Amino acid sequence: MKRRYFLAMAGASLLYPFRGILENTYRSLGLSNDQSSSKKYILINVIEAPARWMFDTILKPTNAHGFVQGKLIPTHFKKTGSAPFDFEYDYGFHEVNGYQFPYMWQFDIPTADGKTTPLSNLAENMFIVRGCDMVLDGHEINNRRLEAPSIGSHSISGLHDANTSPLFGCLSLEGAREAGTAAQAYSSPSTNRTIIKDSTENYIEYLLRPFIERASVNSTIVDKAISEALTSNKDSHIGKKLNSNEQSKKRAANIINQHHQVITREYNDNVKKYQDLINRSIQRTNILGLTDKRVPGLKFPLELKKKFHQSGKAFEKVDYLGAYKEIDYLVLADDVRTMFDTAEIKGLAKQMALAEVSLKYDLTSSININVDCLRNMKTKTTKLEHISMTHEGDVVHFKLKSSDVVENLGLRHNADSHKCGSLTSLLCDTLFWRAMASCTYELTRSLKVASTELWNNSLIHLTTEFEREPGDIDKGSHHGFTGHTSTFLSGAVKKTEVIGNIYTLSHDPTDVSPGCGTWGKAADVKSLGNRKMVYGNISSSISNFLGCETPLPHEKKVFKLKNGKITSLIEAPENKEFMEKNLKTEKAV
Amino acid sequence: MTYAILLFFSITDFSMGKSLFKSSTRTADKFYVYRTLEKVFGESNKSILVKNILNSPELFGGGCLPYNVSMKSEKFDLSDENFEDRCFNNITEIGSPAFVEMSVIRQVKTENTCNEILKDTKNIRHALALVSLSESSPIDLKSVKRTTNLFFYKKKQRETYSKIIVNNQIKTWRDVLLVLCKSPEWQIL
């Protein structure tokens, strides 16, 4: 190495110590976003990825966009008859603020005042990002990536908490899933999440009780000594965390001691409020084209015409009867709608109630909610294995193997509907999303009423691991991990917007059912360099809104916050034709 | 060009995310916290420790044993052997993580536990007797250093706390033990 070159490198490396000065200058010039202290992030994570094509996966943004209706991608019944299998599906649209939203958006949802409101009101502050390719298959890995997109690094909420020093670290409302979800992926350089288990009777009491008990003991001199000891260690990595906790603890104690009665009362009222919204959204609904008419369940003995797969193979029992499947059970109700009279979404009311008070009283900066599926749908049912199938010419006969195989059970709708038929999924998923819409609408309304600033600084992220890809035969759907949708609600969203590109029709041989219709598979985005959007693009955008570091700094944002408004950074949404790409290394023929 | 590259690297660590590497502290689990407090203050505090510590694996970490003796039980006797290995709330506690980072609620629960235990002077005497002290022993640097041995194994921490306790002129052994017990640092491994 030449001496001159060596000296130049050594001299230039002397710049390194000055990076601290540059950092402070960067901050003082306002280039770092110090507004982050007031930002709130709420991840509402519907685990196990139910279908969203009837709710917020916008398959055809406008009438100018291509759309191919898949036979197993319905939004409602075109007709329902009086016998099993006497129904026909349709996929309908309803215009909402210039976009073609799915069919259900033309109807009302229950509100907290006992009345209803058009579902389309929810879309006023809605920003939908569709067509995101999660690249990897799997519930656990993708659910965890919703919170921690860079595996092994700190998570979005964790980085946000590090920026904001909240009273309580991210409230992890785990629900029934205590492992393998976004909630457990939380990681922060400065604090820990606050885990609230599903088995906890009263969420707010769990949070506040330790502080109320603590308040009864006054030990100023002891607290002072502990603070002094922790401060002496404040520059170490551990010391920083402990000091941060100590500060949060003191602030929490002050707020809780002053307001715990009001907070507790409000939480208890909220639980009843949200439970009422959920019940009214699911039970005894009368939705045109869905639940306004009797929907007959299976009835035996049953005769159907013989069918064959495209390969020539004869249909199996599950292929014939699959539309009425809920995992291993067949729905035999005289009217399938009665299943929903007892249906519930466990824990959701408590979760939303806590989210509302936590945001209003500034108890936290981030919340992770794991939402459970529909449960306890009481119906007459039997297992597929209890049905016999015999052939007679072109006719297939189905019978119950014995009279005592019919049971009345409370079924659970598996959101991961590999083994749930199109009919049960259409009803279950639509009513489920209706309940989610109603609860989310109430949360947004409450935030708006509490404070415009709070609403403008809050980002509600309603999402799942990925969309679903319908099967070619009606016995269940599959992981559509190449198509993910994230829906955002915030006061910073000033008008309804949809971004992201999908394929009108994909013949990708790696799809489970190529050519099954438009379902939301990600297509290339020109603004991202003609490649598919990945979750890192979404997480960078979220981090930008929150004003915190992004876990994936090399991934471009697809939207950003500018002058208090969320704006798209990519082109308007397109529905593209699938073109199989050749590898660059392939020789031209 | 070289200067530009070096300048670039010298400033990118703050503009592109300097705290992206992940590190975590190792904290004591519920068994360690339970055993320490039981050893220091006596076996008579089992019910307090079960209520505040063993019942909260989500705060303190530590699973429960998946054997017959550890099935969830509505009633158990504190004199049962290995009762602390039981799943106190839910069988899912089997999967509780081994380490849970220090949180605000964990700290407050620890403080409440210490407050409750140290209401009883019998427990103060038990702790002091372990280091050959009594309630009438003077609260000086030498004696306080001996009590720090009850919680801290790192010399630096023992010295820090000893000096702070003496400098703040803490007048009762109860308060001395409260400072040590309530500090979150002894739960950091």
Q: Does residue B114 fall inside a structural domain?
A: yes
Contacts of A453 (CB under 8 A, 6+ apart): A38
Q: Does residue B158 fall inside a structural domain?
A: yes
Nearest to A238 among B106, B179, B188 (CB): B188
Counting the structural domains of chain B, the total is: 1
Distance from CA of B131 to the nearest CA of A (A): 21
Domain span at residue B136? 38-62+97-187
Q: Does residue A137 fall inside a structural domain?
A: yes
Quick one: tokens of A460?
């509600």
> Does position B23 have pLDDT exceeding 60, yes or no?
no
Residue type, A204: I
User: Using CA atoms in the order A305, A311, A313, A318, what is the torsion angle rounded to 10 degrees?
Assistant: -70
Structure confidence by residue, pLDDT tens digits, A92-135? 999 999 999 999 999 999 999 999 999 999 999 999 999 999 99
| pLDDT, mean over chain B | 84
| Closest chain A residue by Cα to residue B179 | A222
Q: Does residue A417 fall inside a structural domain?
A: no
Would you call A23 and B89 a contact, using CB atoms and an 8 Å cutoff?
no
Counting the structural domains of chain A, the total is: 1
Q: Helices (H) and strands (E) in chain B — how many of each?
A: 9, 0
Distances (CA, A) of A263 to A268, A271, A352, A534: 9, 12, 14, 40
Q: Does residue B54 fall inside a structural domain?
A: yes
Nearest to B20 among A13, A211, A551 (CB): A551
Nearest to B112 among A18, A192, A213 (CB): A213
Percent of chain A with pLDDT over 70: 94
List, as ranges, residues 23-42 from B with C-beta within 8 Å of A. Answer: 23-25
Distance from CA of B167 to the nearest CA of A (A): 9
Top mean-pLDDT range of A149-158, A169-178, A443-452, B78-87: A443-452
Is residue B3 less than 8 Å (CB to CB) from chain A?
A: yes
pLDDT of residue A346: 94
Q: Does residue A317 fall inside a structural domain?
A: no
Domain span at residue A209? 41-288+344-372+424-577
Cα–Cα distance for residue pair A461/A112, rounded to 1 Å: 21
Would you call B168 and A23 a contact, using CB atoms and an 8 Å cutoff?
no
pLDDT of residue B18: 44
CB < 8 Å to B158, chain A? none
* ipTM reported for the complex, 2 dp: 0.85
pLDDT of residue A21: 60
C-alpha radius of gyration, chain B, whole number: 21
Tell me, rounded to whole angstroms, the distance of Cα A302 from its chain centroid: 39
| pLDDT, mean over chain A | 91
Query: Which of A331, A342, A513 lies closest to A425, judged by CA?
Result: A331
Distance from CA of B82 to the nearest CA of A (A): 24
Do the Cβ atoms of A91 and A103 come closer than 8 Å?
A: yes
Would you call B182 and A178 a contact, using CB atoms and an 8 Å cutoff?
no
DSSP H or E run through A96:
strand A93-96
Kindly give the pairing relationship between strand A329-331 and strand A407-411.
unpaired
pLDDT of residue A242: 85
Cα–Cα distance for residue pair A547/A366, rounded to 1 Å: 13
Q: Does residue B24 fall inside a structural domain?
A: no
CB < 8 Å to B7, chain A? 12, 15
Find the mean pLDDT for residues A368-381.
Answer: 95
- List, in sequence order, every residue forming a beta bridge with A507; answer none if it has no partner: none
DSSP H or E run through B106:
helix B104-117
Find the mean pLDDT for residues A147-165.
Answer: 91
Contacts of A387 (CB under 8 A, 6+ apart): A300, A317, A321, A330, A398, A399, A400, A401
pLDDT of residue A33: 44
Cα–Cα distance for residue pair A33/B5, rounded to 1 Å: 26
- List, in sequence order, every residue forming a beta bridge with A344; answer none if it has no partner: A375
Would you call B107 and A245 a contact, using CB atoms and an 8 Å cutoff?
yes
Q: Does residue B166 fall inside a structural domain?
A: yes
Q: Does residue B15 fall inside a structural domain?
A: no
Contacts of A565 (CB under 8 A, 6+ apart): A492, A493, A494
Peptide bond into B184 cis (omega under 30): no
Q: Is the pTM of this model over 0.90?
A: no
Which residue in A226, A244, A254 has the most chain B C-beta atoms within 10 A of its own C-beta, making it the best mutation to test that interface? A226
Query: Which of A23, A157, A142 lies closest to A466, judged by CA?
Result: A142
Residue type, A85: F
Q: Does residue B164 fall inside a structural domain?
A: yes
Residues composing chain A: 589
Q: Which letter, b or e, does each residue of A423-448 get, where b requires 16 or more Cβ atoms within 10 Å of its Cβ? A: bbbbbbbbbbbbbbbbbbbbbbbbbe
Cα–Cα distance for residue pair A121/A354, rounded to 1 Å: 23
Would you call B160 and A233 a contact, using CB atoms and an 8 Å cutoff?
yes
User: Which comes out higher in pLDDT, residue B12 or B67?
Assistant: B67
> Does position A28 have pLDDT exceeding 80, yes or no?
no
Cα–Cα distance for residue pair A126/A191, rounded to 1 Å: 31
| Closest chain A residue by Cα to residue B26 | A238
Q: Label residue A11 by pLDDT band (50, 70, 90).
A: confident
Is residue B100 less than 8 Å (CB to CB) from chain A?
A: yes
Quick one: tokens of A300?
């035996």
CB < 8 Å to B18, chain A? 549
User: Using CA atoms in the order A506, A512, A516, A522, what is the torsion angle rounded to 10 degrees?
Assistant: -40
CB < 8 Å to A197, chain B? 58, 89-90
pLDDT of residue A12: 66
pLDDT of residue B72: 53
pLDDT of residue A403: 85
Cα–Cα distance for residue pair A252/A166, rounded to 1 Å: 9
pLDDT of residue B16: 44
pLDDT of residue A515: 86
C-alpha radius of gyration, chain A, whole number: 27
pLDDT of residue A363: 94
Query: Which of B5, B101, B56 lies closest to A199, judged by CA?
Result: B56
Residues composing chain B: 189
- The beta strands (E) that lie in A464-544 are given as 467-470, 477-480, 484-489, 497-499, 502-505, 524-525, 531-534
Is residue B19 less than 8 Å (CB to CB) from chain A?
A: yes
pLDDT of residue A3: 83
Is residue B132 less than 8 Å (CB to CB) from chain A?
A: no
> Does position A396 have pLDDT exceeding 60, yes or no?
yes
| Closest chain B residue by Cα to residue A247 | B104
pLDDT of residue A583: 60
Quick one: tokens of A322?
């699959």
Kindly report which listed range (A26-30, A370-374, A380-384, A564-568) carries the lowest average pLDDT score. Answer: A26-30
Would you call B3 and A245 a contact, using CB atoms and an 8 Å cutoff?
no
Segments in A283-411 forming alpha helices (H): 317-321, 348-360
DSSP string, A330-350: EE--SSGGGGGGS-EETTHHH
Structure confidence by residue, pLDDT tens digits, B56-106? 988 899 988 766 554 555 566 777 777 788 887 777 788 788 888 888 889
User: Which comes out higher in pLDDT, residue B13 or B29?
Assistant: B29
Would you call A232 and B160 a contact, using CB atoms and an 8 Å cutoff?
yes
Quick one: tokens of A376?
């306890």
How many beta-carbon contacts under 8 Å exist across A and B? 150
CB < 8 Å to B25, chain A? 237-238, 241
